[in-house]
Amino acid sequence: METPVGTAPQREQAPLTAPRQSEPAGGAVRPPVRAWLQPALIALVVVAAFISCYVGLQRDPRPHQIPLAVAGPDLPGEIRQALGGAVSVHPAADAEAARSALEHHDVAAALSTDGRGGLHLETAGAVGASTTTAVKTLVGAYAHGAGREVTTEDVVPLARYDARGLAGFYMAFGVTLAGFVLGSNALGLANLLHLRHRFRLLAGTSVAIGAVAAVIAGPVLKAVPAPVVPLILTLTLLAAAAAFATKLLGTYLGPLGIPVATLVLLTVGNATSGATIGADLLPAAARTVSAVLPPGAAVRAITDLSYFNGAHAAGPVVTLAVWGAVAAILLVLRSRPKRRRTPAAA
C-alpha cells in the first residue's frame, strides 16, 4: 500500500514509561529496611539511656569517700574505723581549722567535739541535700553507737530562693540544651555560611546564652548568688562547649551525630553532674565521667562561685574551655581537605 505524498510513515511508539521488574505491583517503591530501623533504634537507645541514668543512678545512692574534716585527738581514728570507706577523714588541728576547710569547699562537712563529751557537726547545704543527709546519717550512726549526742549547724546555707539546691543544675541543663540546639542548627548552614562565619555565630550566640541565663538566674530571680561576670563567663563556656561539640559530632558522624550528642551532653552529662544527687554518692563509673563532661564541670563551677568564693572553680572552667577549643580545632582540621580539593575540582 502506497503512502500518500507528504505524509510520513507512521511508526509504533513505545510506552513512555515501563514498569520496573523490581517494583512491586502498583508502582510503589519499597523503602529500605534501614529507613525503618535507624530512627526506631535511635529512639529506643535514647529512652533506655535516659531512664537508666536518671533513675538507675538514684535508686540506691551510697556514700563513697565523702571528705570529712575531723578535729580532736582521737576522733579522726575513731571515725575512720567506724565509717570505713564511706568517708575520707581529713584530720584538722582544731574545730576552727575544720570549719575553715568546709568554708573553702575542701571538705563536705566538719566534725569536732563540743567540749562536753558530745559532737558538733557542721555542714554546708550548698554541697547538696543528698550529700548533707548522707553525712548526718553516718555521723548519727557513729554517735549512737558511741553514746554521744550530736548538734548540727549549717554554716554554708543555700540561697533563699534556691531552697532545694537545684537552681545551678537547672541553669546548667538549660544552657547545655541551648548550646545543643545551636550546634545542631549550625549543621544545616554549611552551604550558606563559611566556616569562620559559623564559628562567629556559635561563639557570639554562646555569649548571649551565657549572659541571659546568668542575669535571669542571678539578679532577676536571685536563685544563684554567684558574681554575675564570672557566672556569665562560665555559662558562655558551657554553651560554647555544647554547641561546638554537637556540631563536631554531627560533622564527623553524620545522622548519628545528633543522637550521640544527646546521649553525651543531655543524658549522661546532666545525670552525672552531681546536682540532683551528690557526686560522692554516685557509682564509680559515674563519678569518673562526672567532672569531665561539660554539665558536671559547670555545676561544680556554679556551686563554687555561688557559695565558696570560687575556691575550686578554676578546674571546671578550664574543662569547659578545653571542650570548646578541642571541638573547634577538630572542625577546622575537618574542613581543610575540602578547601584544598575545591580549586582542582574547578
CA dihedral 14, 17, 21, 23 (to 10 degrees): -160
The whole-number average pLDDT for the span 142-160 is 92
CA dihedral 315, 316, 318, 322 (to 10 degrees): 130
pLDDT in tens, 155-204: 999 999 998 889 999 999 999 999 999 999 998 887 788 888 999 999 99
What pLDDT sits at residue 12? Answer: 46
In the predicted model, is pLDDT for residue 341 greater than 70? no
Q: What distances in angstroms separate CA 317 from CA 217, 301, 314, one per listed residue?
A: 19, 7, 5
Residue with cell 502506497: 2
Distance CA 218, CA 146 (A): 44
Distance CA 320, CA 128 (A): 22
The whole-number average pLDDT for the span 114-142 is 90
pLDDT in tens, 218-244: 999 999 999 999 999 999 999 999 999
Q: What is the DSSP string of 5-59?
A: TT-PPP-PPPPS----TTSPTTSPPPPPHHHHHHHHHHHHHHHHHHHHHHHHTTS
The whole-number average pLDDT for the span 36-53 is 84
Q: What is the DSSP string of 187-199?
A: GGGTTTS-HHHHH
The whole-number average pLDDT for the span 107-121 is 90
Distance CA 334, CA 244 (A): 13
pLDDT in tens, 272-297: 888 778 888 888 888 888 889 999 99
The whole-number average pLDDT for the span 240-262 is 93
The amino acid present at 129, given as its one-letter code, is A
- For residue 254 the three cell numbers come to 553524620
**C-beta of residue 82 within 8 angstroms of C-beta of residue 119:** no
What pLDDT sits at residue 28? Answer: 63
**C-beta of residue 42 within 8 angstroms of C-beta of residue 259:** yes
Distance CA 315, CA 30 (A): 54
Distance CA 333, CA 291 (A): 27
What pLDDT sits at residue 262? Answer: 93
Q: What is the DSSP string of 233-299?
A: HHHHHHHHHHHHHHHHHHHHHGGGHHHHHIIIIIIIIHHTSSSSS-GGGS-HHHHHHHTTSHHHHHH
The whole-number average pLDDT for the span 112-137 is 90
Cβ neighbour number for residue 46 with a 10 Å cutoff: 15
The whole-number average pLDDT for the span 72-95 is 91
**Confidence at 111, pLDDT banded by 50, 70, 90:** very high
In 140-225 the beta strands, taken as DSSP E runs, fall at 150-154
The whole-number average pLDDT for the span 318-324 is 97
Q: What's the predicted TM-score (pTM) here?
A: 0.83
**Confidence at 25, pLDDT banded by 50, 70, 90:** low
- % of residues, the chain, pLDDT over 90: 60
**Confidence at 346, pLDDT banded by 50, 70, 90:** very low
What pLDDT sits at residue 339? Answer: 47
What pLDDT sits at residue 234? Answer: 97
